[in-house]
Amino acid sequence: MKAIKAVKGTKDILPWEIPLWHQIETLCKELFASAGYQEIRTPVFEKTELFARGIGEFSDIVSKEMYTFQDMGGEWLTLRPEFTASVIRSYIQHHYYQRASLHKLWYFGPLFRQERPQAGRLRQFHQFGIELIGSEYPEADAEIITLACDFYKKIGLKDWELHINSIGNTKDRLNYIEVLKKSLTPYVDDLCPTCQDRFDKNILRLFDCKNELCQQILDTHAPKIIDYLSEKDKAHFEEVCEYLDLQNVPYQINSKLVRGLDYYTRTTFEIKSNHLGAQDALCGGGRYDNLVEELGGPSTPSIGFAAGVERLIMALEAEEKASVQLSPPDLYIAPIDNQAYKGIVKYCTHLRNQGFIIETDLLRRSVKAMMREANRKQARFVTVIGSEELNSGTLTLKHLETGQEYPVNWDNLGEFLEKTILPF
Ligand code: HAM
Q: Express each pLDDT in 115-157 by its tens digit.
A: 999 999 999 999 999 999 999 999 999 999 999 999 999 999 9
202 pLDDT tier (thresholds 50, 70, 90):
confident
121 Cβ below 6 A of ligand 1? yes
pLDDT at 424 over 70: no
- Which of 65, 82, 83 has the most ligand 1 atoms within 8 A of CB, as the residue to mutate? 82
Q: Judge if the beta carbon of residue 311 lies within 6 A of ligand 1.
A: yes
Cβ of residue 283 lying under 6 Å from some atom of ligand 1: yes
Count of CB atoms situated within 10 Å of the CB of 407: 10
Q: What is the pLDDT averaged over residues 51-58?
A: 91
The band of 323, judged by pLDDT with boundaries at 50, 70 and 90, is confident
pLDDT of residue 247: 95
Ligand 1 atom closest to residue 121's alpha carbon, by position in its atom list = 20
- The band of 423, judged by pLDDT with boundaries at 50, 70 and 90, is low
Q: What is the pLDDT of residue 321?
A: 85
Q: Is the pLDDT of residue 260 over 90?
A: no
Q: At residue 38, does pLDDT exceed 90?
A: yes
Q: What is the mean pLDDT of residues 252-258?
A: 94
Residue 364 gets the label, from left (phi > 0), alpha (psi -120 to 50) or beta, of left
Cα-to-centroid distance, 363 and ligand 1 (Å): 45
Render pLDDT for 165-176 as a digit per residue (tens, 0 to 9).
999 998 999 999
Residue range 195-221: average pLDDT? 91
Q: What is the mean pLDDT of residues 384-391?
A: 95
Query: Taking residues 379-401, what's their average pLDDT?
Result: 96
Percent of the chain surpassing pLDDT 70: 99
Name all domains of the chain by residue range, CATH numbers in brackets. Answer: 18-169+230-318 (3.30.930.10), 331-419 (3.40.50.800)
Confidence of residue 359 (pLDDT cuts 50, 70, 90): very high
The average pLDDT across 338-346 equals 95
Q: What is the mean pLDDT of residues 27-37?
A: 97
pLDDT in the model for residue 333: 97
Give me the chain's average pLDDT, please.
Answer: 95
CA 312 to ligand 1: nearest atom: 12
**157 Cα–ligand 1 center, Å:** 18
Residue 106 clears pLDDT 90, i.e. is over it: yes
